[in-house]
Structure 1
Amino acid sequence: MRRLVQHNIPDLVYVNNIAHHISPSILDVFRSLGLPVVMYVNDYKIICPNSLLLNSAGVCKKCKGRRYYNALLHRCKRDSLIPSAVACIEAYAHYHRRIYDSVRAFLAPSQFCKERLAEFGVDREKIFVVPNFISPEDFGSKDTSSEPFCVYFGRLSKEKGLKVLIEAAKVCGHELLIIGDGELKSSLVRYAEELGARNVSFRDGMAFDELMTTVGASLFTVFPSLCYETFGRSILESFAVGKPVVASRIGAVKELVDDGVDGLLCEPGDCEELAEKMSSMFSSKQATEKMGQNGRAKALSRFTPGNQYQHLMHVWERIKP
């Protein structure tokens, strides 16, 4: 990394997802060269050993105040001792090496994310809200006709609330299509079969165009997350193809979905309320389609490449040497 950077010295270093794919140790290289670093925050890894602010009991803030040992005590990483121990040690190592001190700006995708980072000790003056964006040309030609089924698309993991969704779908009685891959895929398929939820079907992850065409043919999408989402990309993409969202009232989701305007919100983990909101969408198709139109208008006006550029230039003006 040092040779690469020294060969062509940049004005700015923008890092994203380094905790899981490269290593935060590259920040030491940039610091030694005096390069300004901007870091996009996709999850809570810099403040939470398991990245989610979530344990087996629900949303969690036990590691606040750098009490990272709680990750080990509660086995927060994969509900397993060894991964949790590794995550705990890693968090303490990053803190004692002051690995993130060289970051001049943390880009939080939502106000909620910014507040959580500040609450856990990240310098508020370094945190800037820079929401995700979509490219309108990626969504302009998608079919927005509505068929009587709803869709969940995304990662199939514990924090996404998919068991509750399957239960709610059975109560609701209408078709639910779950699209995606992940560690829970086989257990979720088995759970739906054991529950007798014959109206629930599964599809593997799709190429983007096929996925958006499928979402565009649905009546609405569902986002039943149990964790503090930093943003909610699936919600934005649903809006972009004119589909409203039934979503959990948690984390940054409340910033994206205006309840009753472009979607419906319910308490996370509440099967009965989720089923009620889903049934409401199916029974009021005209109102549902109107909410979808409102969501599309929001996505194409507020979450554009131009707005993203303005946010980034504002950050650059604040941090440039």
Structure 2
Amino acid sequence: MKKKKVLMVHNFYQIGGGEHTVFKNEVDLLRQHGHEVIEYTRNNNELKQNKLKLVLLPFITIWSWKTYNDIRGIIKENHIDVVHCHNTFPLISPSVYYAARSMKVPVIQTIHNFRLLCPNGSFFCDGKICEICNKTGSFRSALQNNCYRNSKIQTLVLVAMLKFHRWIGTYQKISYIFLTKFNREKFSKLIDVNSEQVFIKPNFVKESNCFVNAVEKKTFVYAGRLEINKGILSLIEMWKTLPEDFVLHIFGSGTMEEHIKKEIKNNKNISFFGFRPQKEVFEDYRNAVAVIIPSECYETFGMGIPECFSMKLPVICTDIGNPGEMVKESKGGLVYPIGNISKFQVVVKEMIEMRQVYSENAYQYYLNNLTDEKNYKELVEIYDKSRNIK
């Protein structure tokens, strides 16, 4: 069977993240299996270099004629079979969907966050989970709270884009890949989540040779952004209630960095390493009992848990959203309610006692669900089933 030619589309943010990694991983995966892959990418750094683009951004975000014409030209010249979008905000815009449809080529959007439902993309506001915009169908709350980058103007631009494309029915005209069932159900008010053009496919990581060692010390690791919604401050407060031989290593950077340094200044069992290359973090994983994901928002999926599971490293996380669902489904770790210190203490101690069991469960779940070969088969099946929606 002829292998499909794929146009992969992605708008890079100024600060990298999991979406960028997934985009590159899938491009490489398809090429390794003999597919011709054309990349159409834009980068938000363009806005720093061109003031005119910055002025026109409110209009470009809603509709980009450059994108529309570029995509049509690429499809025609390269005989593209399927257009696969990862991120279109803000420079590419939803005009990519219409360009593909005008050329009678199926277009699929992978949903990496909740931005089509929530302007800040995370269902998190004022230190807690917030789904007001999704439940009411209105973005009034987002405008009142300046939810996108704490800017009224930027939030207004994003809301205008979302409202316009809802009004003309854009989001009912494309196919979707959701990373989890949890994510898919959140979109039930925007699209028909039971449509034959709605698919579920997780992210993947290649199998690691960096398997964890037999653990002798009670060392745990947090590796991620240092933001309030990631639950890092709550983790530190709970960790202070554990005996001193329970050690926590913190890797990462973010707005809470200086605050965290002050909080742990006099704690001998908490060490802060700041941002480090992935290789160094993974080396620290080798001697860890588990990774802790204390997130107080839903998360969309991320790469953290698949990476841990591929190394036979179990996870402790809060019992909400995607991390909680995956850890419970896989039995590759333990969960605790947000802010519940006594339960947190119990799961940390249980993890030490039962680590081998959770480690094997985590790795088996990885082999069954999160490998590159498994992901390739699922991705090709999605491409084969994708059709233009009338």
Among residues 245, 253, 262, which one is paired with 1:190 in the alignment?
A: 262
Task: State the shift of 1:67 in Å.
Answer: 0.5
Task: State the shift of 1:121 in Å.
Answer: 1.9
Task: State the shift of 1:270 in Å.
Answer: 3.0
Tell me, what secondary structure is at the counterpart of 2:240?
Answer: helix
Distance in 1 between residues matched to 2:365 and 2:79, nearest whole Å = 39
Which residue of structure 2 aligns with residue 122 of structure 1? 191
Tell me, what secondary structure is at the counterpart of 2:328?
Answer: coil
Deviations 1:163-194 (A, max 9, x none): 1011111112421111122232223223333x
Distance in 2 between residues matched to 1:35 and 1:67, nearest whole Å = 32
Deviations 1:59-113 (A, max 9, x none): 222112431122112333345544433433332233235443442x211111101
Deviations 1:18-75 (A, max 9, x none): 2267433433332333321111111111221111112115222211243112211233
Paired residues for 1:195-210 under 5 Å = 196-210=266-280
Which residue of structure 2 aligns with residue 28 of structure 1? 98
Identity over aligned residues, as a percent?
Answer: 25
**Equivalent pairs, count:** 312
Structure 2 length as normaliser, TM-score? Answer: 0.73
Structure 1 residue 234 corresponds to structure 2 residue 304: yes
Which residue of structure 2 aligns with residue 291 of structure 1? 358
Which residue of structure 2 aligns with residue 177 of structure 1? 249
Structure 1 residue 161 corresponds to structure 2 residue 228: no
Which residue of structure 1 aligns with residue 181 of structure 2? 111
Higher deviation after alignment, 109-118 or 5-14: 5-14
Structure 1 residue 14 corresponds to structure 2 residue 84: yes
Distance in 2 between residues matched to 1:190 and 1:276, nearest whole Å = 27
Residue 19 of structure 1 contacts residue 45 of structure 1 at CA under 8 Å; is this kept in 2? no
Distance 1:260 1:123, change over 3 A: closer
Which residue of structure 2 aligns with residue 145 of structure 1? 214
Query: Which AA in structure 2 matches 1:68?
Result: F
Unmatched segments (≥5 aa) in structure 2: 1-69
Query: Which AA in structure 2 matches 1:281?
Result: M
Query: Which AA in structure 1 matches 2:182?
Result: F
Distance in 1 between residues matched to 2:277 and 2:211, nearest whole Å = 14
Distance 1:8 1:259, change over 3 A: closer
Distance in 1 between residues matched to 2:128 and 2:103, nearest whole Å = 42
Distance in 1 between residues matched to 2:203 and 2:131, nearest whole Å = 25
Unmatched segments (≥5 aa) in structure 1: none
Higher deviation after alignment, 36-45 or 79-88: 79-88
Higher deviation after alignment, 265-274 or 288-297: 265-274
Deviations 1:205-227 (A, max 9, x none): 33333322221221111011111
Residue 192 of structure 1 contacts residue 200 of structure 1 at CA under 8 Å; is this kept in 2? yes
Higher deviation after alignment, 234-243 or 69-78: 69-78
Distance 1:269 1:91, change over 3 A: farther
Higher deviation after alignment, 34-43 or 254-263: 254-263
Query: Which AA in structure 2 matches 1:190?
Result: K
Deviations 1:121-158 (A, max 9, x none): 2221132110122212xx12434332421001122222
Distance in 1 between residues matched to 2:276 and 2:81, nearest whole Å = 37
Which residue of structure 2 aligns with residue 73 of structure 1? 144
Task: State the shift of 1:114 in Å.
Answer: 0.8
The alignment yields a C-alpha RMSD, in angstroms, of 2.5
Task: State the shift of 1:314 in Å.
Answer: 2.8
Distance in 1 between residues matched to 2:209 and 2:184, nearest whole Å = 31
Which residue of structure 1 aligns with residue 162 of structure 2? 91
Tell me, what secondary structure is at the counterpart of 1:221?
Answer: strand
Larger Rg: 1 or 2?
A: 2
